[in-house]
């Protein structure tokens, strides 16, 4: 079993964290990026989370300097299937299927964003109900700087969290923001020192864990219904646009600029 993602289950005998589970992205040398190993491990651990009968709150975090840097741009933007070739939009959507499994967790999910959350990693953080972040880290969707359309429902989620104007600015520029600005915009509930991120998330998780579990679960479900929270459908729509941009000269230029550590020069082709 891969240790790329770890799950510490809730425990009825733990006097401190009893009903709290901790899900940890655990490939720090790869900045917890979306490698095949990490994605497969994430899907497997989500199945464990959903089967945890003692769970009342889940904390999602990472090891190392990054929460997640998103796709490994030097390896894969789209995910193919060895059994049968996927259409371009299917391959784009397949990159996000594992992370979208977080939507199936019925209890509240707190993102303890220990470090940078960029691209698909930023999208994963937006799937959490609450986010506590590192004040010194960077957050955002830099897709436009790479010649790509966003994926993982980011263009659906971000304006619902921070408003259409703020979301438009960040998505059109691809600009990353520091933790303090992320808190001001409403991306983060709190921005704290790096060493305080996980303790702060656990403190909040304990408070949630002391509340009536059925009331909390049904409240989470109702909140999503009221918000018309259909992130999977949004991610599927985005996959078509993302696949189209993968085929452009601008995407090739964005990748070349990234690897060459220079500013891109886009032509709109």
Domain-wise residue ranges, the chain = 5-260
Rounded mean pLDDT, 187-206: 98
Summarize pLDDT for 65-92 with one digit per residue, the tens. 999 999 877 667 666 666 667 777 888 8
pLDDT of residue 84: 67
Q: Give this prediction's pTM.
A: 0.94
- Can you tell me the distance from the alpha carbon of 143 to that of 228, in angstroms, rounded to the nearest whole number? 25
CATH topology of domain 5-260: 2-enoyl-CoA Hydratase; Chain A, domain 1 (3.90.226)
Q: What confidence tens digit (pLDDT) does each residue in 98-120 have?
A: 999 999 999 999 999 999 999 99
Percent of the chain with pLDDT over 70: 95
Q: Of 9-13, 126-130, 238-242, 248-252, give the range with the top mean pLDDT.
A: 126-130
Kindly report, residue by residue over 129-178, the tens digit of the pLDDT: 999 999 999 999 999 999 999 999 999 999 999 999 999 999 999 999 99
Residue 210: pLDDT band with limits 50, 70, 90: very high
């Amino acid at each position: 079993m891969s240790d790329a993602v770890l799950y510490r289950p809730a425990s009825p005998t733990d006097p401190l964290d009893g009903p709290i589970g901790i899900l940890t992205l655990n490939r720090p040398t790869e900045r917890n990026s979306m490698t095949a190993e990490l994605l497969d491990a994430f899907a497997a651990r989500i199945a464990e989370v959903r089967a945890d009968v003692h769970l009342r709150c889940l904390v999602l975090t990472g090891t190392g300097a990054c929460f997640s840097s998103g796709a490994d741009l030097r390896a894969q933007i789209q995910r193919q299937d060895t059994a049968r070739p996927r259409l371009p939009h299917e391959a784009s959507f397949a990159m996000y299927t594992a992370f979208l499994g977080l939507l199936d967790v019925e209890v509240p999910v707190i993102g303890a964003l220990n470090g940078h959350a960029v691209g698909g990693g930023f999208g994963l953080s937006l799937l959490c109900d609450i986010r506590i972040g590192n004040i010194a880290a960077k957050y955002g969707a830099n897709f436009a700087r790479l010649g790509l359309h966003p994926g993982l429902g980011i263009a659906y989620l971000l304006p619902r969290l921070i408003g259409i104007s703020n979301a438009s600015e960040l998505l059109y520029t691809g600009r990353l923001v520091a933790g303090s600005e992320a808190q001001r915009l409403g991306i983060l509930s709190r921005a704290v020192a790096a060493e305080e991120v996980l303790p702060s998330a656990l403190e909040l998780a304990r408070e949630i864990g002391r509340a009536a579990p059925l009331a909390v679960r049904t409240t989470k479900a109702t909140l999503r219904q009221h918000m018309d929270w259909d992130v999977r459908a949004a991610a599927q729509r985005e996959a078509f646009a993302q696949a189209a941009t993968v085929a452009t000269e601008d995407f090739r230029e964005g990748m070349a600029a990234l690897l060459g550590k220079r500013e891109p020069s886009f032509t709109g082709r």
